Amino acid sequence: MGRTCWRLGLGVILLAWCGWMFLAETSSGTMDIQKKAKKLGFPAQNCLYCHNEKLPKKSAMTLNERGKWLLAEKNNRKPKEVDPAWLKDYPGDKK
């Protein structure tokens, strides 16, 4: 009986973890997005262009105004990932 409970508990934990991994939102920014932004002529020298941390971690990342705007655009447009070409429409850089 003890062995069966242990297996059942492990199965429940494994199933919950798989569900969490499947449904969890992925990180917004990637090095690929930064490289694309640079190629498009934006001054994205490091992660601080869109984040408040120099090296953001998935679990502890905060976005600056530009990053928040990009995330809102992603939610409005419903693509798979952020497109750095949207930065041409970012209102914060126009002064």
28-49 pLDDT, tens digit per residue, is 568 899 999 999 999 999 999 9
Closest CA to 34 of 21, 15, 51: 51
- Could you tell me how far CA 29 lies from the centroid of its own chain? 5
Question: How many CA within 13 A on the CB side of residue 30?
Answer: 9
Report yes or no on 3 lying in a domain. Answer: no
Q: What is the pLDDT of residues 37-81, one digit of tens each?
A: 999 999 999 999 999 988 888 778 899 999 999 999 999 999 988
- Positive or negative, the Cα torsion across 43, 53, 26, 67? negative
The domain total for the chain is 1
Q: Classify residue 82: in a domain, yes or no.
A: yes
Residue 88 has pLDDT above 60, yes or no: yes
In a domain? residue 52:
yes
Four-CA torsion 19, 21, 25, 28, nearest 10 degrees: -170
Residue 47's domain comprises 26-93
Residue 31 is assigned to a structural domain of this protein: yes
